[in-house]
Structure 1
Amino acid sequence: MIRGPVCILANTGSGKKAAARIRALVQPFRDAGLDPEIRLVRKGSRMPAEAQRVAAGGFGTVIVAGGDGTICTVAGALAGTGTALGIVPMGTFNFFARSLGLPGDPTAAISVLLAGTERVVSAAEVNGQLFLNNASLGLYPALLERREAAYAKWGRSRVAAYWSALRTLVTYDRPSRLRITIDGRTDHWRSPMVFVARNAYQLEQYGMQDGVDLIREGKLAVYIAPELRRWQLLGFAIRIALRTARPYRDFALEAGEEMEIDTHSRRRTIARDGEREKMRAPFRFRVLKDALTVIVPPDQGA
């Protein structure tokens, strides 16, 4: 049973069709005897501030319609408040929603939420900023930046995404000197990318079972790419995509509840659940145990 009062929060962009689609999703809540307040955000840059206002608004449940980036932003505002988070997946990958057993179709997801139950789940943070799926520095943030530029020039398409990824992989030549401390143990690395995973479901999709087991033990799974030449990076990415990459052969795999990464550059771009932002080193990661209350299907409550 969904706790009231209820707020529906969504990033609609600038399209009227998106806003109309969100409003159409409200009717099932009204049919269930709920009268949700609707908050539509048309610019993604305004979502963090709106999420903070909603978190302070006294709602029992906040329903977020959007992709992983939007969900991450709202989850960061709700963490520790006890307010229940419901998700209507409307993104590309929807890894967090899928990890909770929610269907990908928005209408079906609402039906599940209305019959769902609450569950407390853990998350993670880097420099005080929450993430649900992963956070990374190096190659992956650079790939996201190139992809956004391609979308701006040619529009959103798989061709644009693949072309931007290919260009990044064959031109990226910026391995970093890193000092990484995990649960008190320090090592020095030279690597083009560090990928910190917290969502076991996402790793399962890429066949990385060793990392899945570590996350289920309550740890962060830390993937450290080896120092590779440009064209070697392309082969590395292909092995990841084909699910043939293996730890200790293609990359290092570490784990811990707390981690610190220090670099020679004081400010670096960090990607959190697909969103990029500048942060100041050192980068401190940690598991946030029982950080969120989420609504899941009835059979996923345990």
Structure 2
Amino acid sequence: MEGVTDAPRAIAVVTNRKSGTNARDRDAVDRAMAEFGRDRARLYTWAPKHQKIEEVVDRALEDGADTVVAAGGDGTAMAVAGALLGKSAAFAVLPLGTFNYFARGLGLPEDPAEAARAVLDAPAHPIRVGQVNGTVFLNNASLGIYPAVLKQRESVYARYGRRRIMAHWSAAQTFMKFQRPMHLQIEADGREIEARTPLLFVSRSAFQLEKFGLSGAEAISEDGFAVLIARGETRADLFRTALRLCTRSAVEGRDYDFLAARHLRVRSSKSRSLLAYDGEKRLSPSPFEFRMSRAPLTIRLPQGASG
């Protein structure tokens, strides 16, 4: 793509003021900036409550950036990627979040300074990304119990801090409040399906699926979605499935149903439902349209990683 060079020459590092407020994150960004080189890299701060990410990215591009690096977790990566979709600059990530699925899926080290060194050596590579109702997501989007877990997680993080163990605790709390599964009408590449399920999970991350021993990596490699429809109608079912996920023993046909699709249209019996995408969430009206992006996202793909 015009404007993208084999090696980054002008790097914009975008930090999310909401998520990067502690000293550890500030030190990590400083070390990454030193690896990039102060003469080549410039820091931009995004305050989500006060400005659109598109404004920050456009300013970086106007300043001459050929590579825009999201310094944060999966939510920050998703936002920056959405603003760069179809633009003449490459996208890269410094992992500073709780899980960092996208960065880990690329094979990037979780240490930001080491990740910065990998980005410097990474050639540009165009990919297609997922979209739900026009919003980009890099890892997954979902309806049902997982968005509810994210909502609970916010209050747990606010009280106890952003740690992975707290994320697991918020899931257990949400399961205890579970009442009934969703009723969904699903159209997947022309096929019509009705489902009663506690979770519809639409994945674009082969890394995430493989981590939990789930089906679907092949669908993602073929530029489609891996769609998982969880089985279960009780709290006991949820805890049983969660245990099987943790032990990589969940089985297609017993714990979940799987289908591959490039276009998905989902109607809920509720007029509005909580939608999750890459760790973010919003209350959205039904139906939900999942499709692959028409415009490409150019990413810095580390040597040896698969796009």
TM-score by length of 1: 0.91
**Count of aligned pairs between the two proteins:** 297
* Number of the residue aligned with 1:165: 171
Q: CA deviation at 1:289?
A: 5.7
Give the 3-state SS of the residue equivalent to 2:193 in structure 1.
strand
Q: Answer whether contact 1:2 1:61 (CA < 8 A) is retained.
A: no
CA distance in 2 between counterparts of 1:25 and 1:132 reads 23
The secondary structure found in structure 2 opposite 1:278 is strand
Kindly state the Cα deviation for residue 92 of structure 1 after the two structures are TM-superposed. 1.9
- 2:25 paired residue number: 18
Q: Deviations over 1:217-252 (max 9, x none)?
A: 222111111242112211111111111011112111
Per-residue deviation, 1:254:
1.2
Matched, 1:29 2:29: no
Residues in 2 aligned to 1:35 and 1:183: alpha-carbon distance in whole angstroms: 45
CA contact (8 A) 2:44 2:56 kept: no
What is the deviation of 1:158?
Answer: 4.3
> Residue type of the partner of 1:54?
V
1:290 Cα offset (Å): 6.4
Aligned to 1:189: 195
Q: How many Å separate the matches in 2 of 1:283 and 1:256?
A: 14
Letter in structure 1 aligned against 2:240: G
Q: Separation in 2 of the partners of 1:55 and 1:124?
A: 22
**Distance in 1 between the 2:187 and 2:205 partners?**
21
Residue 54 of structure 1 corresponds to which residue in structure 2? 57
Q: How large is the Cα RMSD of the aligned pairs? A: 2.1
Query: What amino acid is aligned across from residue 293 of structure 1 in structure 2?
Result: T
SS of aligned partner of 1:156:
coil
Over 3 Å counting, the alpha-carbon distance change for 1:246 and 1:132 in structure 2 is same
Following TM superposition, by how much is the alpha carbon of 1:272 offset from its aligned partner in structure 2, in angstroms?
0.5
Matches within 5 A, 1:54-133: 54-55=57-58, 57-58=61-62, 59-133=65-139
- The structure-2 alpha-carbon separation of the partners of 1:165 and 1:262, relative to structure 1 and needing over 3 Å to count, comes to same
The 4+ residue runs of structure 1 with deviation greater than 4 A are none
Match of 2:3 in 1: none
Question: Which residue in the other structure is 2:162 paired with?
Answer: 156
**Deviations, residues 253-278 of structure 1 (Å, cap 9, x unaligned):** 11110000001222211110111112
Kindly indicate whether the alpha-carbon contact (under 8 Å) linking 1:147 and 1:161 is maintained by their aligned counterparts in 2. yes
Among candidates 213, 219, 228, match of residue 233 of structure 2: 228
> 2:221 matched to 1:216?
yes
Letter of the structure 2 residue corresponding to residue 105 of structure 1: D
SS of alignment partner, residue 102 of structure 1: coil
Correspondence 1:199 to 2:205: yes
**Which residue, out of 276, 280, 285, partners 1:275?**
280
Q: Quick check: 2:180–2:233 contact (8 Å CA) kept in 1? A: no
Percent of aligned pairs sharing the same letter: 36
- Give CA deviations for 1:182-219 in whole Å, capped at 9, x if unaligned: 001111111111000111111111111x3112211222
Look up the match of 2:267. 262
Question: Could you tell me which amino acid in structure 2 is paired with residue 85 of structure 1?
Answer: F
The gaps in structure 1 that reach 5 residues or longer are: none
Distance 1:76 1:213 in 2: 24
Which residues of structure 2 form unaligned runs of 5+?
A: 1-5
SS of the residue corresponding to residue 25 of structure 1 reads: helix
- Once the two structures are TM-superposed, the CA of residue 17 in structure 1 deviates from its matched residue by 5.2
Q: 2: CA distance between counterparts of 1:199 and 1:160? A: 23
* 1:147 corresponding residue in structure 2: 153
**Whole-Å Cα distance in 2 between the matches of residues 157 and 95 of structure 1?**
15
**1:85 Cα shift?**
0.7
User: 2: CA distance between counterparts of 1:227 and 1:52?
Assistant: 43
For the Cα contact (< 8 Å) 1:198–1:215, is it kept in 2? yes
Cα offset, 1:280, TM superposition: 1.5
Q: Bigger CA drift: 69-78 or 85-94?
A: 85-94
Q: Contact 1:19–1:40 at 8 Å: present in 2 too? A: no
